[in-house]
């Protein structure tokens, strides 16, 4: 899998705040909240937790809820 980067708004000039979704090893998903301040919040879980984990980060970090 390629990394997926998600921003809360259209990107402008860097640096920007993003969520990075990646698979560090087979069977694992890692979601990292990369901030402008440089203090990332990173969590790694089994791929079966990927979707709920992604939406949790989107809600907590960007305040966006799914439909």
12-60 confidence digits (pLDDT tens): 777 888 999 999 999 999 999 998 888 889 999 999 999 999 999 999 9
Residue 67, domain member (yes or no): no
Taking residue 18's Cβ as centre, other Cβ atoms within 10 Å add up to: 20
Q: How many domains does the chain have?
A: 1
Q: What is the dihedral of CA 29, 33, 5, 31, to 10 degrees?
A: 0
Per-residue pLDDT band for 65 (boundaries 50, 70, 90) equals confident
Domain extent, residue 57, equals 4-62
Residue 50, domain member (yes or no): yes
Residue 8, domain member (yes or no): yes
Residue 16, domain member (yes or no): yes
- What is the predicted pLDDT for the residue at 1? 60
């Amino acid at each position: 899998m390629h990394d997926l980067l998600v921003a809360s708004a259209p990107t402008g000039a860097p640096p920007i705040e993003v969520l990075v979704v990646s698979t560090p090893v087979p069977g694992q998903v890692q979601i990292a909240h990369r901030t402008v301040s440089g203090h990332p919040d990173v969590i790694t879980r089994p791929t079966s937790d990927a979707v709920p984990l992604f939406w949790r980060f989107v809600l907590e970090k960007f305040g966006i809820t799914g439909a």
